[in-house]
Chain A
């Protein structure tokens, strides 16, 4: 890899690791949230839905700032992690993961919520009349029927985490091989006038993002034609 040195490669590796861990966590956390949002008649549906969607409109620096304060030595999360002997989260990989989970949450929850809503009540009722309890129904009817929603949620969550910058800078700073992801590395290269490397990384990101979206949209198109 001529133009990319080992620092660049470490940034790419770190980015992929961060996006993977975040996506897995988001699918685990986002599924019950999306399920609740899709099924509830509670008055809390509006406020909770809005909170989940906040990262769509907030400047990443605002989110990063509050997370930094909360996870810092004097914040309530920071106090908690310290009392558990974990130290504080900012400027660590774990801190980045936490921040990314918040930041990419809507990109996972919303496709899942749409998928769950599209299934409607009927398949669940049919399953209940066929002796399937709630968990049985969820794993054997809801999950298979919402597979396209999970694929979309996973792709968007991953891609969006790969593309984050502001939150990473606020929470993770710029520590090579620990918190320096590709987007930050590009920023560094440009600051240092290393345009060749900046081009290689930026070009790679552009290609990656395009391919992800291409895969997503062409699979959707196919579904529409079939339906």
Chain B
């Protein structure tokens, strides 16, 4: 009973703020709570998300991430739902508030672009733009068209576009409504690897150049690691973890579904280029790694991913070894991995978290325990972007 009363209390709060939207508009952040029940599937989430940057809803198929996104868009109406976006109430089932999709200032990019087949690219783009009052337009025509590189496609019909081009038009169309929240439902999932590579840079530019918060649904760890600032891990309709990308991916208390491909993401800057050996040094908090020569200029930011299975541990730094990247790190935690033969070790390399997946036998032989200082040998780093 107490639990119920609490829910009611919190929900009616949203309704109140809905009335005084203007006063609380300065409040950044998204609070979403949805309970939906379908035959064989239930979604029950409570999300507190930052009102800026890219937040990834990450999970396997059937985890409820798309349903969650559709609830935010109002395309799905959660039986019990509360949704507040940067101080505005979009849904409050307790107070009977449900703002229909077409009155929510959002943009939505579907997995299959879903352009209107009877309209040219230009008229697809205009469709949303001309339905938005010109005083609230923040993204200009030229900005959206240039950002997504679709200037040469304007007179074409959607049927005559490649999958990647369609998806870019879909993104530009959503942007041209000057959304205050951009929702993207696996925008790359229907594309082959080459098209993905073609679109990812546009997504990054979108992230860098426009100050629009994005909710990005994906089941691809690489996409998430490359694009997201904040991550929500979903499993079977429930939130497993949510938080900053780097901290959340380095957590060990996640279900096996997320640890079999465990790894961390490191934000680095290009420190130096070594022309003799064609290497580039990437600096980050607590150390640096050498990677094959990168095209990026000195000082540019880069993200890379270190898989737990690519990190081995040593008591003494290996003197004669082909492994270039060795970091000193302190053991923070040791837990069971996805198989009984392995353990996962969480390390702190002077401020940068690392995960290592080693055999239980090695862990015992090295006497790996919390607080020990060891050498982490990194076999490969996967550069994102």
Contact = CB atoms under 8 A, between A and B. Distances in A.
Most buried by A among B107, B110, B114: B114
A131 B132 contact: yes
Do most interface residues of chain A lie in helix, strand or loop, or is the interface mixed? helix
A123 B124 CA distance: 12
B114 A130 contact: no
Most buried by A among B102, B103, B127, B132: B102
B262 interface: no
Interface size grouping (class) on chain A: 10 to 19
B117 interface: yes
A123 B132 CA distance: 19
Given A129-B101, A132-B127, A122 B114 contact: yes
A128 B118 contact: no
Given A128-B102, A129-B106, A130-B131, A141 B116 contact: yes
Given A131-B131, A131-B132, A132-B127, A144 B108 contact: no
A145 interface: yes
A125 interface: yes
Nearest to A125: B75
Contacts of B112: 122
Nearest to B73: A129
Contacts of A144: 118
Contacts of B173: 130
Interface string B321-338: 000000000000000000
Interface of A: 122-123, 125-134, 136-137, 140-141, 144-145
21 contacts: A123-B114, A125-B101, A125-B110, A126-B114, A128-B100, A128-B101, A128-B102, A129-B75, A129-B102, A129-B108, A129-B128, A130-B174, A130-B177, A131-B102, A131-B131, A133-B100, A134-B102, A136-B102, A140-B127, A141-B116, A145-B116
Interface of B: 73-75, 100-103, 106-108, 110, 112, 114-118, 127-128, 131-132, 173-174, 177, 183
